Amino acid sequence: MVAMGDWRVSANCRNGDPDRLFVRGAKQRAARSVCRGCPVLTQCLAKALDEKIEFGVWGGMTERERRVMLKRRPDVTCWQTFLVNAAAAREVAAVAEAPVEVPAAPLAQPIPLGPVRKARLAPAASQGAPVPAAEAA
């Protein structure tokens, strides 16, 4: 994650005309495509929400979408903390739900006994203890 102080240097929109993010109405939906995959999307969105910036596309969201978020969550006092924690929670959930890696196939053949193990099993066989067929051979 990029530190808060320098997040703008990593922004997708750092080059090009900045005005393209400050368009009106339906053009904002197209404008926000520049935010797709932006590595500092969380920081950008948090700034816009924390500072209640009303105009332009920030963090991949239009003005209207941010207004909806602010209205839905009036309890959030620090969007930076809220969004970072939400992102961390999603990462933890993704790791927890990741499938456990298992070997591609179980061993098809029993591991052959070496001479030392065969010798150790021999007295047990003479005392009547059962010896697995695979090991007795």
Question: Which residues make up the interface to ligand SF4 (CB under 6 A)?
Answer: 11-13, 21, 34-35, 38, 40-41, 44, 57-60
Report the residue number, 3 or 102, with the smaller CB distance to ligand SF4: 3
State both tokens at 86. 């939400």
Residues in the chain: 137
Please report how close the Cβ of residue 70 comes to ligand SF4 at its closest, in angstroms: 17
Answer for the pair 61, 32: CB distance below 8 angstroms, yes or no. Answer: yes
Q: Which is nearer to ligand SF4, 33 or 85 (CB)?
A: 33
Please say which residue, 34 or 70, places its beta carbon nearer to ligand SF4: 34
- Work out the number of other CB atoms within 10 angstroms of the CB of residue 2: 14
Q: At closest approach, how far in Å is the CB of 69 from ligand SF4?
A: 14
Burial 40-60 (b: 16+ CB within 10 A, else e): bbbbbbbbbbbeeeeebbbbb
Smallest separation (angstroms) from ligand SF4 to the CB of 71: 21
